[in-house]
Chain A
């Protein structure tokens, strides 16, 4: 019947499109990101980061970086890396089916992605089942590397590590300024990500002897955050620890300003580091602390960063921000492993990944290098840096060996700016 024909035609069209992607001597890597839905903007940044890495691998560049001086992978006859993109829509079920499709229909030899930890969970389950390496650079749930998976590797640090660094930073701030920062308010979005961060923070507060005066979960996409902020103000915290995604971070910043709420320290996850944040809030974004996997001012420690940032700017017409750096490492790590393995056999790649030892010079993030814990798959050298926004730009303030500026403390009141 007619609808049958329509279905069959759609099917045929799709299969035909799939077939066209065939090319000589390429190594396919599948990348799953939330290209539609609320996280679509972030997904574009992540995609640009991956494309930058692939560009360096596949083409010649005249700076000192892995694969910069060669085209493709030398040990595989110059084979090029090709990324097959897939949209998860931020949905674990879709992430799962897309991972499966990439492995079985597209023939990818490894997977990267998926940003949201819930999607990474299901997609990496599929990879584990099929025995395909999964290198993740952009999901921060501690659970991901607690599952004893054989095929899962993560370059970035996770939220547990982040929370610890955050408390170390608070203690250092106390030492520097002599002020007490013991009253904490934990604010987190009611999602997997927010809950994990809050859980870690609460445990560490106990460990380090901080007092949690308010623990406040909020609904993402709330149409108004006034009551949240009113509650926060009533608890009179010294420090607000916030785990939000970009959209709510914007609204929180606006609401803090409206209500003239200025805790001594406002400590955030990565959301203020997204390109849209400062574009939206302008100088209201100043003096926020945030965790970053990367900050452009680290160019003073690693000059190659400057050259890659320059290339990125030329290629995409925008700055390479922390999200792009998070996703940037994964294809580099995979290319390095596949090259050393000298084959695309999954088991050989996995062995090579286990032997990965990329020196810190080839990491854009401030790490000593990339080396995976054989038990968990977590990069043992990974760590975050704490930045502060000053003059609408990002400056590293902690740990001190990376710091490029003194932190502004306390958070200035909204009227004295």
Chain B
């Protein structure tokens, strides 16, 4: 009986976290799929989202759930700015120069955050949801912040999915990701598409940061932990695959949680990575859904 409750608990917790992983992975996958750039600074944008949520909650007393509507556009602009100032210059560069640039950016961002905001640990204050308790169903406990974060992640993910699949710009993004030369020939402004894609990718991971900010501690180097998961997620789902990110995020959340519960928490990430290795060896060069 106990094991069953534990099993359901582990499954549910893993699932909730999995949705957040999906959203984090989406940005990374999107940027790679369209622009062919592996963004090693991805985790630092998550950190940026978390800090923005924190500052909005402290300075303007805005609940992260409201602030997210401001932060997403802000991060979109940040993304576009970084694309125009930096990423654009390495698009045609070598793979190694892309690694160097985005890695340099990640070192820069993490330490800049440390310089500006000190290395202290914080949590964003909730103003809307702080009164509501936690849910309990048949002995399975789910935290409201985690629930909100996962529902929020699904919504943002769905919105991004809609943008990519069903809007004119989205179709242009898809066309570019399949064949950028062809897209250029039919009159798509590739540069704009790249800028939008980068901004969109950054908004997604930043939104995940905002949603995490109410229950996960915030500090300048927080991105590294999540980027580790994000890379495994994206590679598992297939670089460039939107659906793949979604499924792989959930899978990794559940594997992490079940592995921690049944085998040993000390090796739960080893289990995640080994699962990834097995999948990738069985389906090389694509992941689960890649193309």
Contact = CB atoms under 8 A, between A and B. Distances in A.
Contacts of A344: none
A190 interface: yes
Contacts of A231: 6, 260-261, 265
B266 A226 contact: no
A304 interface: no
Which residue among B9, B17, B133, B253 has the maximum number of chain A CB atoms within 10 Å of its CB? B9
Contact of A254 (B114, B143, B219, B229): B143
Contacts of B219: 38, 41, 247
Contacts of B13: 224, 226-227, 230
A222 interface: yes
A403 interface: no
Interface stretch (B117-125, B178-186, B196-204): B117-125
A260 B134 contact: yes
A38 B268 CA distance: 21
B6 A41 contact: no
B129 interface: no
Contacts of B229: 223
B141 A259 contact: yes
B103 interface: no
Interface residues of A, number: 41
Contact of B265 (A43, A217, A251): A217
Contact of B216 (A41, A251, A259): A251
B226 A281 contact: no
Interface string A223-238: 1111110110110000
A247 B111 contact: no
A253 B192 CA distance: 45
Interface string A358-371: 00000000000000
Contact of B118 (A44, A230, A251, A254): A44
Contacts of A279: 120, 122
A221 interface: yes
A258 B261 contact: no
B266 A190 contact: yes
A251 B216 CA distance: 6
B226 A223 contact: yes
Contacts of A251: 216-217
Contacts of A280: 121-123, 217
A218 interface: yes
A216 interface: yes
A224 B120 contact: no
Given A41-B119, A250-B121, A258-B141, A226 B134 contact: no
Interface in A279-314: 279-281
A387 to B, nearest CB: 20
Interface string A144-177: 0000000000000000000000000000000000
A294 B258 CA distance: 40
Interface in B97-129: 111, 114, 118-123
A382 to B, nearest CB: 28
Given A226-B257, A230-B261, A258 B266 contact: no
A216 B217 contact: no
Contacts of B3: 234
Contact of B9 (A217, A230, A246, A281): A230
Contacts of A222: 225, 265, 268-269
Contacts of B114: 36, 40
Given A41-B121, A230-B9, A224 B17 contact: yes
Given A38-B219, A251-B216, A227 B268 contact: yes
A44 B115 CA distance: 13
A247 B256 contact: no
B264 interface: yes
A343 interface: no
A202 interface: no
A260 B137 CA distance: 12
A219 B228 CA distance: 13
Contact of A234 (B6, B122, B226): B6
A401 to B, nearest CB: 34
A38 B261 CA distance: 27
Contacts of B216: 223, 251
Nearest to B252: A223
Interface in B168-184: none
Given A44-B118, A250-B217, A258 B142 contact: yes
B244 interface: no
A224 B221 CA distance: 16
A412 interface: no
A80 to B, nearest CB: 29
Contacts of A218: 265-266
Interface string A28-71: 00000000111011011000000000000000000000000000
Contacts of A43: 119
B71 interface: no
A106 interface: no
Contacts of A254: 143, 215
Contact of B260 (A190, A227, A260): A227
A331 to B, nearest CB: 23
B96 interface: no
A254 B266 CA distance: 20
B257 A224 contact: yes
A227 B257 contact: yes
Interface in B136-173: 136, 141-143, 145-146
The 4 closest A-B pairs by CB, nearest first: A227-B260, A40-B119, A258-B143, A226-B13
Interface of B: 2-3, 6, 9-10, 13-14, 17, 21, 111, 114, 118-123, 133-134, 136, 141-143, 145-146, 215-217, 219-221, 224-226, 229, 253, 256-261, 264-266, 268-269
Given A40-B114, A44-B119, A258-B141, 7 more contacts: A219-B268, A223-B21, A226-B17, A227-B14, A227-B268, A233-B6, A250-B217
Interface of A: 36-38, 40-41, 43-44, 190, 216-219, 221-228, 230-231, 233-234, 246-247, 250-251, 254-255, 257-260, 275-277, 279-281, 415
25 contacts: A36-B114, A38-B221, A217-B264, A219-B266, A219-B268, A219-B269, A221-B224, A223-B17, A223-B21, A223-B229, A224-B17, A224-B256, A226-B9, A226-B17, A227-B14, A227-B258, A231-B265, A234-B2, A254-B215, A255-B143, A257-B143, A260-B141, A276-B121, A276-B122, A280-B217
